[in-house]
Amino acid sequence: MSPEAHAENAVQNPLLALVPDRKQLEHERLQRVAARERQHSKRKRSRSASYDASASVDTEEQSTKQARITAPSQRYTPVSSADRFWNGAIKATHNRYSRAARAGTRLEQVLLPATSAHACGLQRVMMASYDVDIEWLESIFPPDIPITYIGNPPPAHHGGVPAGLYRSDLHGNWEMAVPFRPHARALQHMKFLLLFFDTHVRVVISTGNLTPLDWSRYENMMYIQDFPSTTQAHVCTCGAGYSSYGFLAQLERVLSSLSIPPNHAAMQKLHEYSFQGARAHIVASWPIQSVARGWSNMEEAGLSRLGHVARALCPTIEPSLRMEAQGSSLASYDRRWLEQFYLLACGYPTSILPLTSKRTENPSPEFVQAVGIQDWPPIQILFPTQSYVVHKSVEGRQGGGCFFGKPDDFHRRQLRGLFAQPISERGHLLIHAKSILVTNDTYSNGYVYLGSHNFTRAAWGTVSGTPEHPTQSLSNWELGVVLPLSHKDAWDAILYQRPAQPYGAHDAPWDANSLAA
């Protein structure tokens, strides 16, 4: 079936109406929070949209800020119509609490030169998000451009919807793709945009949902790279990239995992562009029915895929390698999962995995032998404390509704020594961005990850089995990129002040569920 015939046969269904009204939900949430705040305290915090968050960073915190190893290029500079990111770039999303010089990029600017009134060569859009505000997006994109939105399958109480493509009953140019869920835990958490122009395709892999909340109030980041059409490749100044790692093949695999058929117009249009200058390595996760068996299958996605890329970027194993993981949700951590994550993320050979020792609070003998330490893996988990959210963050408790910290598990497992409080370089803004930094003492070896993966099993998966028969389970759709520290913009992915402040004796992770208490 041709793409045109496929589009004509897209099911007519008012599915977009099933997407929650994010604006109304947020309004209702803020009303509930405000009511609780009035009950908790007579002291009410007042902030305006012009508040300069960076002005509130304590002098003591400023004095502990480490100088950036590689100066940021143009992380906070908004995208302009003339920009073409042939070599890739990392950009911060717009934040209304930052001063103008560090305000970041709005979603409307990502689409440039296209505007809400003029396509300016934009021919098609494909995008994915965990949360979405359709009305807001409709006000940003030009009319009549074919748009495919990939979201979560509607909740079961809507009767369930089979995997497939569903055209909007209100806007004929919009369709929603519902991916096949191999199990009930499967969650579509990827965040990306593919903007197909006549001269290039812009690939945007983001940490923020397609909502005003994530593009104006939380700290989020995105990786952008433009790829020229095959007829325009001669104008690209990017040179050779990492094409041997199959950026296009990985991108197609991601879309296939989301149930986008091979004959979809967007899938076919990808082959009209040259991806030879790809600078980033795609690392994705997608849910599977049972488990992936054997490293060749496991390394297609999840933690095993990260390990595959890490071994290429960190060919020399160094005992000094350490890891920092930043996110907006935490997991119930155990020592074995953390040990295996560290070994794979730092490029250790798969021959020592999976760790077969029983899950206890003691280090596994295999880990001790490989790394040479008896303590917890050198991992720092960055997550806001309860005190920070309530007393220092720009929006206080009201702004903590999207951060889930599992404080009970934190206390039960005595993980305090692994945790640190991240503080944005733009001030006291809550960081929704997800990142991983792997580096050594001299910052001469390592990489950064930026994307949708939180530091959780659901996002990265779990490696199990035996060394002879390894397996990996995966729950979520996730998407991110890995850049070596040698990339000129790699350090721009790390938007918190370093070194981060370790948790104090009375600190505990913030958890949004406390708002319902």
Per-residue pLDDT for the chain (517 aa), expressed as one digit of tens each?
Answer: 333 334 444 555 454 555 644 444 445 444 544 454 454 444 434 333 334 455 444 443 343 334 444 444 689 999 999 999 999 999 999 999 999 889 999 999 999 999 999 999 999 999 999 999 999 999 999 999 999 999 987 665 445 688 899 998 888 899 999 999 998 889 999 999 999 999 999 999 999 999 999 999 999 999 999 999 998 766 666 655 654 458 999 999 999 999 999 999 999 999 999 999 999 999 999 999 999 999 999 999 999 999 999 999 988 888 889 999 999 999 999 999 999 999 999 999 999 999 987 767 789 999 999 999 989 999 999 999 999 999 999 999 989 999 999 999 999 888 999 999 999 999 999 999 999 999 999 998 999 999 999 999 999 999 999 999 999 999 999 999 999 998 888 999 999 999 999 999 999 999 998 887 6
From residue 23, alpha-carbon distances to 174, 208, 255, 501 in Å are 20, 16, 28, 35
Please check whether residue 203 is in contact with residue 224, taking contact to mean a CB–CB distance below 8 angstroms. yes
**CA pair distance 422, 428, nearest whole angstrom:** 9
Please check whether residue 177 is in contact with residue 149, taking contact to mean a CB–CB distance below 8 angstroms. yes
Count other Cβ atoms within 10 Å, centred on residue 232: 15
Going by C-alpha positions, the residue among 279, 132, 320 that lies closest to residue 215 is: 132
pLDDT for 509 equals 97
From residue 427, alpha-carbon distances to 46, 159, 183, 380 in Å are 17, 44, 41, 21
pLDDT for 475 equals 95
Going by C-alpha positions, the residue among 169, 113, 121, 117 that lies closest to residue 143 is: 117
- What is the Cα 153 distance to its own chain's centre? 20
pLDDT for 73 equals 61
Please check whether residue 220 is in contact with residue 93, taking contact to mean a CB–CB distance below 8 angstroms. yes
Tokens coding 257: 């995992």
Residues 6+ positions from 5 with CB-CB distance below 8 Å? none
pLDDT for 487 equals 87
Regarding beta strands 419-421 and 379-382, do their DSSP bridges make them parallel or antiparallel, or are they unpaired? Answer: parallel
pLDDT for 72 equals 46
Please check if 191 is assigned to a binding site.
yes
Q: Which residues are catalytic?
A: 189, 432
Please check whether residue 340 is in contact with residue 306, taking contact to mean a CB–CB distance below 8 angstroms. no
3-state secondary structure of 53: helix
Count other Cβ atoms within 10 Å, centred on residue 339: 24
In degrees and rounded to multiples of 5, residue 260 shows phi and psi of -80, 120
Please check whether residue 476 is in contact with residue 186, taking contact to mean a CB–CB distance below 8 angstroms. yes
DSSP string, 246-299: -HHHHHHHHHHHTT--TTSHHHHHGGGB--TT--SEEEEE---SS-EESHHHHT
Regarding beta strands 192-197 and 501-502, do their DSSP bridges make them parallel or antiparallel, or are they unpaired? Answer: unpaired
Please check if 434 is assigned to a binding site.
yes
Regarding beta strands 174-178 and 446-451, do their DSSP bridges make them parallel or antiparallel, or are they unpaired? Answer: unpaired
Residues 6+ positions from 326 with CB-CB distance below 8 Å? 382, 383, 422, 431, 433, 434, 435, 436, 455, 494, 496
Please check whether residue 194 is in contact with residue 127, taking contact to mean a CB–CB distance below 8 angstroms. yes
pLDDT for 59 equals 40
Q: At residue 511, what is the residue type? A: D
| Domains along the chain with CATH numbers | 89-269 (3.30.870.10), 282-516 (3.30.870.10)
Going by C-alpha positions, the residue among 225, 239, 242, 229 that lies closest to residue 273 is: 229
Rounded to the nearest 5 percent, the helix, strand and coil shares of the chain are: 30, 20, 50
The position carrying tokens 């990306």 is 192
Residues 6+ positions from 224 with CB-CB distance below 8 Å? 79, 85, 88, 89, 90, 91, 110, 202, 203, 204
Q: What is the pTM of this model?
A: 0.88
pLDDT for 362 equals 87
pLDDT for 51 equals 41
Q: Is the peptide bond before 113 cis (omega within 30 degrees of 0)?
A: yes
